[in-house]
Amino acid sequence: MAGFSALPKRLVPDRPAPPSPAVPPAPPRPVDGDGAVPRPGPAPDGARPAGEDHPAVVAISDPAPAQPGAAAEPGAAGVAAAVPAAAEPGAAAAPDAAPAPRPAGSCHQEPGFWERHHLAVLTAVTLAAVVAGRIAERLGAPPAASLVFYAISYLAGGTPAALSGLRALRQRVIDVDLLMVLAALGAAGLGAWEEGAALLFLFSLSNALQSYAMDRTRQAIRALMDLAPETAHRLRSDGTLEEVPVEALQVGDRIVVRPGERIPIDGRVVAGRSSVDQAAITGESVPVTKGPGDEVFAGTMNQLGGLEIQVTKPAADTMLARIVALVQAAQEDRSRTQRVIDRIEQVYATAVVVIAALAAGLPLLWGADPGEAVYRALVLMVVASPCAVAISAPAPVLSAVANAARRGVLLKGGRYVEELAAVKVVAFDKTGTLTRGQPQVTDVVPLGGATRRDVLEAAAAAERLSEHPLARAVLAAAAAEGIRPAEVGEARAEPGLGVAAGSGERMTWAGNVAFARRLGVDPAPAEPVLNQLARQGKTVVLVGAGRRLLGCIAVQDVPRPGAREAVAALRRAGLIPVMLTGDRPEVARVIAQQLGITEVRAGLLPDQKLRAVEELSRTLGPVAMVGDGVNDAPALARAQVGIAMGAAGTDVALETADVVLVSDEIERLPFVFDLARRATRTIWQNLVFALGVIVVLVTLTLAGRLELAAGVLGHEGSTVLAMLNGLRMLAVRPARAGS
């Protein structure tokens, strides 16, 4: 069937590859008509020019008047406004600035009218010719007149199917298109031109409807490709701007993105501050604040402020480009059910031709009318064709892949839709998956007359230069209370014990009990607090000054927002959540209790996690492993489905996992499993419906109760309904929290 066999292997048009080095990219064009944007003149009264620290920003804060044909600069002032040191007096951001339009002659062209609508046009011509032929017969016109109209309907309605069938026949495959063409030609041979033309019209109409329906899936992914602009505003060495194709940008180049524009390429912010809507890439519903040092992704929307960005990846290797490539590959990868259907279809189509031939020949042995026997055989060949069966799996699978991609979830193959639906156990890594992976100070306990501020000041002074995660947590807690670490002298760290800075009475230190004893400090006053906090799964740091114990600081990795709700939703869906972690058992149990996880396996090395996944699979059923895609690689690979979280900017996760959550929003997990289960149920609904329709139509045909036109209508109607049922997966949305 053209609607199935002619489906493109990729439902997403390929974005043209970046230009070869041998072919120079399109020359850059300046933003204004003079080819440069002048710097402001000297400041009056000897004042330092605004933006002296950011000359590149100044260069766009006061652009020259644009000449005709030059690109407009609606939001240029936003960059200056975003960097206080560079803001000119009275400069204002332009939050409503519209994104720069794509230049004419863009390299990414939308499909033309004929490419998008040729099936509909041919269907309309077929219908018009059928109606004209029927009218000619009713008006008593010569038979040749009606035959001309019917011949036109055969050409318009049958050419696409005939071409598809011949291509398949050259590969020694009989497909549904060929069956329909043979049935129409057989009807013409029997003199039933009108019925043959009606067959081709209904078949062509079905294909046109399926083409429009599947275009919704293509558009869902094509929208990803259209996110990234095709040009960027690059900063020259003299601080002026030029508009260049994105493919011409090199790693290290600096570009300016104005308010209201999409970011054209992956990079790192070097100046400016703004909110960036990353929903199209990561699925995050709330814009993320970006400032110097933060990574940004191609295709995301800059909002109120201007940004100066240093390019970190070429256009062909951005996160957006990789996402599109993964989705394209996923659409080519067939589900298990679809592979089985494809294998059966080849044999089935051949069997239909053989059975139809027998149905035409055997009745002749009993003296049946040859015309009637051939007619019944043609009807049988039409109604037994597996069009609806063939489309049963692709429609829901491709729709599910497209829907997931729109929401920041990448399924790296159609097969994983069904494998996700079969999962019984969801195994989680703890650190960075169920928790933030960033320890936070939870308790500050002063001792011996010290104050909370005394404890934090001493700890911050000792940890001032440390890069240890616990040190970062202490420094963050001190900064939150307005404490700046004092410089008390040279810091000395002893791995596994603690750190001290300064000497004598000015020495401050932070460490464990053994470290305190090494410094000659008695930790006994802290033991009740130590035991209490340790039972809560917290890491406790003793803090002192000289030989005086000031108090304790407890640090703990806290659960990720939404983790408890996600675990509860998975449990309601009948899945078993399990925690697999290398952390200490007491720490793991505390986090598991907070999240509602009852099955905990702690203190596991990577190979032990792998064996735990194997054991869970044997005892409870298929396992999905959720991790960060780096240190959980063995377990992710061994699980039936490996799911990596927070993969934005992480190449390893994109390569390791079967399913990738681009953001770190764990609450998207229930949606993934719900979507997969719905898609799999839809596959089986379609199969049962399609096979049931075939059985009914074949039975009526063998009983001599079904005419060719009615058979075609039932056959093609079931195909369209199966297609539309599959497309419902595009409308599946994540459940609301608590629902």
Q: 3-class secondary structure for 148-182?
A: HHHHHHHHHHHHHHHHHHHHHHHCCCCCHHHHHHH
Cα dihedral 174, 177, 180, 185, rounded to 10, equals -80
Q: Of the listed 175, 333, 429, 674, which one is catalytic?
A: 429
Strand order in the sheet with 623-627: 409-411, 659-661, 641-645, 623-627, 425-428, 576-580, 599-601
Extract the runs of DSSP E, i.e. beta strands, from 571-701: 576-580, 599-601, 623-627, 641-645, 659-661
Strand order in the sheet with 274-277: 288-290, 274-277, 301-302
Q: Going from the N-terminus, what domains does the chain have, and what CATH number goes with each? A: 54-97+229-313 (2.70.150.10), 440-556 (3.40.1110.10)
Please confirm, yes or no, whether 632 is among the known catalytic residues: no
User: For residues 284 and 287, what is the distance between their CA atoms, to the nearest angstrom?
Assistant: 7
Token pair in block for residue 461 = 């002074």
Average pLDDT, 10 consecutive residues per value, the chain (739 residues): 37 37 41 38 36 35 35 35 33 34 40 77 90 89 89 91 87 78 84 84 79 64 70 90 92 93 93 84 71 90 91 86 68 67 77 86 83 87 86 88 86 88 95 85 94 95 84 92 86 84 85 92 93 87 94 91 94 96 85 94 85 94 84 81 72 71 87 96 95 94 87 87 90 75
User: For residues 211 and 115, what is the distance between their CA atoms, to the nearest angstrom?
Assistant: 11
**In sequence order, what DSSP letters do the residues of 659-677 get, joined into one string?**
EEESSS-GGGHHHHHHHHH
Axis crossing angle, helix 370-383 with helix 669-702, rounded to the nearest 10 = 170
User: For residues 555 and 553, what is the distance between their CA atoms, to the nearest angstrom?
Assistant: 7
Token pair in block for residue 188 = 């013409």
User: Pairing between strand 623-627 and 641-645?
Assistant: parallel
Please state, as a whole number, how many other Cβ atoms lie within 10 Å of the Cβ of residue 226: 15
Please state, as a whole number, how many other Cβ atoms lie within 10 Å of the Cβ of residue 458: 28
What pLDDT shows up at residue 31? Answer: 44
What pLDDT shows up at residue 53? Answer: 37
> Which H or E run contains 545?
strand 539-545
User: For residues 601 and 625, what is the distance between their CA atoms, to the nearest angstrom?
Assistant: 14
Q: Are 111 and 117 in contact (CB under 8 A)?
A: no
What pLDDT shows up at residue 311? Answer: 95
What pLDDT shows up at residue 258? Answer: 92
Q: Please, is 129 exposed, middle or buried when counting C-beta atoms within 10 Å of its C-beta (0-12, 13-18, 19+)?
A: buried
User: For residues 639 and 617, what is the distance between their CA atoms, to the nearest angstrom?
Assistant: 8
Token pair in block for residue 345 = 């279809």
What pLDDT shows up at residue 316? Answer: 86
Helix (H, G, I), strand (E, B) or coil at 265: coil
Q: Are 510 and 541 in contact (CB under 8 A)?
A: yes
CA 428 distance to own-chain centroid: 21
Q: Are 288 and 57 in contact (CB under 8 A)?
A: no
Nearest CA to 51 among 65, 40, 38? 40
Q: Are 231 and 66 in contact (CB under 8 A)?
A: no
Extract the runs of DSSP E, i.e. beta strands, from 130-253: 231-235, 241-245
Q: Among all chains, which residue has been given the structure tokens 């791995």?
A: 495
User: For residues 725 and 701, what is the distance between their CA atoms, to the nearest angstrom?
Assistant: 27
User: Pairing between strand 425-428 and 623-627?
Assistant: parallel
What pLDDT shows up at residue 282? Answer: 63
Query: What amino acid occupies position 235?
Result: L
Nearest CA to 255 among 294, 307, 300? 307
